[in-house]
Structures are given as structure tokens and as C-alpha cells.
Amino acid sequence: MPYGTPSTESALTKPITINTLRKMKLEKRKFVTVALYDAPMAAMAQKTGIELLLVGDSLGMTVLGFDSTVPVTMEHMLYHVEAVSRGNTMSLIMGDMPFMSYSTPELAMANATKIMQAGAHMVKLEGGAWLAPTVNMLADRGIPVCAHLGLTPQSVNKFGGFRVQGRTKSQAESILQDAKLLDQSGADLLVLECVPVELAKKITESVSMPVIGIGAGKDTDAQVLVINDILGLTERPPKFSKNFLVETASIPGALKKYADDTRNEIFPAEEHIFC
């Protein structure tokens, strides 16, 4: 093995697919997602048995020093998807579509193709009902899609900051209807970010696709956290995050603790959720 090449040893016994995650939802078994950006961390997460690796546009803030995800480009995303794919053989890899890279179905198709060719197994898009035609087009052409509702960071300027979504009755109903429409349009997964617990529970029970929560309580089918938050590297960590490194004193230990606590519904605890 060349010097510096991450080991591809894995705690997973076979490659994770969308069908794996669907089966886990039906069997009410939690799966685990980590947002990360490089080959060594991907290899470490794989060894821990983490099913889903998100190459998130959060890298704009965690790696590149931007104050939001908006400046992240396709070139940034492709570079990091390629890196993560080199460190992984068994986990499912999901690549974020950056800001304005999917504003039309045709543009989405062209850019999703690039992300898939870089090594992702599916793409993630932020937005509600307006995305239904795009999701349908991608799904029809064999590109799996994860939708993202609630606090969608690419819309931070429209929201006026990083704010909890779905607290009013009208907001909650809109998010629920968007989730149902995207499910019917062919989305394979859904990320719900920073929404009240009861809304997340209702959506999880209302759609066939597995739902991944972040700041959405423990009733979703899975959880996702950014690797920097898991390792205590964030200067002002968000409420929904937890530093697992402080409890374990090693990176593999922190990843395993996060995964175990998610599967056993210890994490998220009351202090990590929004009502």
C-alpha cells in the first residue's frame, strides 16, 4: 500500500445501498450519517460501521473558512467527493449539490452527473415543492436523490440567519406537504434540519423514504453530524451537536460513540433538540 493511503478495512460486511437504508427504516433500525471531507476520515468512519457518508457543502465553513455554504463551488465539491471516495469501499457516499448548481432540471442533471462520476452514489438538493420536477428527472435517469428540508443552509440569506424552521402551523404544514411531494417525485432520502421534534416525527411516519435528522429529535430514521462537531473542532458548536471526542480521547472512539449512541437512541438528548 503506498505511503499515506488510508486502509479500506471496514466493519461493514457488504456495501451499503439505498435498499439497505430502506430496509433499516422498515425494520426500525437506526442508521448513522457523518458529514466529512477527506479520505482518512472516510476510511475511519467506514471502520466504525457508519452507513452513510455525506460530503457536505458545509465544507465551506469547516474546511475553507467561508461564513456560509453559499460560496462553495462545483470544483470544491468534486475535489472532496473524489477524496472521500478514495478512502471508502463500503459506506454509501452522498454528495451535496452546491448553491445554484440545480436551479433548473437541466443544470441539475449536468452537475449531478459530475458529482456521481467523482465517486458519489447519490446527490443531495435543498428545497421544497419547486424541486419536484428536478427530483423526478434525476430519479428517472438513475441518479438517486436526497432532499433537504427545514433549515436549508443555502437559503440562510433568505431566512435572515440560521433559524429553526416549522414552528408555526403554516410553516409546519408546508414542510410536511413538501416532504410528501418529494417522496412521491422519487426522492430516496430526506434530511430534516432544525425542525421541532413533533414535526420531524410526523414527517418520518408520513413518507416512505428514510429520514435523516439533524436538530430534529430522535424519532427520525437516522442522524447526521459534521465531523468537526463530533471532534469538538467547532468554536461555537450548534445546539444540536455534541463533542464525542471529549468522552473517548480518540477519533475512532468518538465516531464509535456517536454511532452507538445514535443506534441506541441515547443521542440526541433533550439538550440537542428543538420544540
User: What cell was used for 164?
Assistant: 429553526
Kindly report the number of other CB atoms within 10 A of residue 14's CB atom.
8
The model's pLDDT over 35-65, given as tens digits with 9 standing for 90+, comes to: 999 999 999 999 999 999 999 999 999 999 9
Find the range with the poorest average confidence among 4-18, 68-82, 95-109: 4-18
Using the predicted structure, report yes or no on whether residue 244 has a pLDDT greater than 60. Answer: yes
Binding residues for Mg(2+): 57, 96, 126
Binding residues for 3-methyl-2-oxobutanoate: 57-58, 96, 124
What is the residue-averaged pLDDT of the chain?
93
Q: What is the pTM of this model?
A: 0.94
For residue 43, the model assigns a pLDDT of 96
pLDDT band at 1 (very low <50, low <70, confident <90, very high): very low
**Superfamily covering domain 18-272:** Phosphoenolpyruvate-binding domains (3.20.20.60)
The model's pLDDT over 255-270, given as tens digits with 9 standing for 90+, comes to: 999 999 999 999 998 8
* Mean pLDDT on 227-232: 96
Using the predicted structure, report yes or no on whether residue 213 has a pLDDT greater than 80. Answer: yes
Of the residues 27, 51, 82, 193, only one is catalytic, namely 193
- Is 27 a known active-site residue? no
Binding residues: 57-58, 96, 124, 126
Q: Are strands 92-96 and 222-226 parallel, antiparallel or unpaired?
A: unpaired
